[in-house]
Structure 1
């Protein structure tokens, strides 16, 4: 199996502490035995949200991105301001049936069932270098599907950036073949 390119981009200990300090653990949500990582306190804090946005915009620049893709739904909240800060366009990857007009779709398996994501067919071109942004990397299913979708649209993947990687769930290993030579940047790993 290919190894995922290690991130050369880091955030300072101070920024990391700020981000971690604003992520709240919610026990037994959405089901018993799950420790949910709630980022809403981080989003409500303008200093923390600005630090996060600045960090993601820096990744956009350092990866040479020309467009930013945000994954539904919390990825939108992080990707859109990062794209604006970096001076780039924002492209939403949505659940199936949510975008009007011609779309490309990609199905993927979930723990219990399957799902499908879509992007507007005309939003990406062969000239685009796309940074995909999401809030959390867990098992990697949605990220893996988005990587395939971006490539099928003809664009180049500049990388994947997440606020929080749940390392114990193995998403990084799962994504290794799909990322190929694109880096995975996690600002915080637990």
Structure 2
């Protein structure tokens, strides 16, 4: 049996969810971003306890298919942008359609109608957040960051960064307290 959880966007989230599952006595096989595979079906009371404890941590159990599909789209994009090494040699639309077994047009229309933004804008927001993270670490050149995040050039990265944030990459690096956004708020 699988459970699907909204706002589970990092390894720390996975640990927090796993801890909550253990607290209510639900045995797991695997905990991944947005998805938990259970060893056995939980009792209704356990599920309700889990729902309440997850809610207090900012997570939410997903019950309906459309919400589940939207979370799966977000999870695929987050994994692609934040946890895959280097640029990807395929189109996002092809990746999503293949992984989620739905026509991309359907996925795109569903995502836009529920989220109020396109999949592409969400993808760009994730990429810009990854660029911010890499800029803060100050370990890579802008060329290396552009390559790692899948931009065709430094100029393209710089233009999109300025368009989304209103700042140049160098102005962002000079900011104290850097204006980063948590992944679940994008």
**Higher relative helix content:** 2
Ranked by relative contact order (alpha carbons within 8 Å, sequence separation 6 or more), the top structure is 1
TM-score, with structure 1 as normaliser: 0.29
Larger radius of gyration: 2
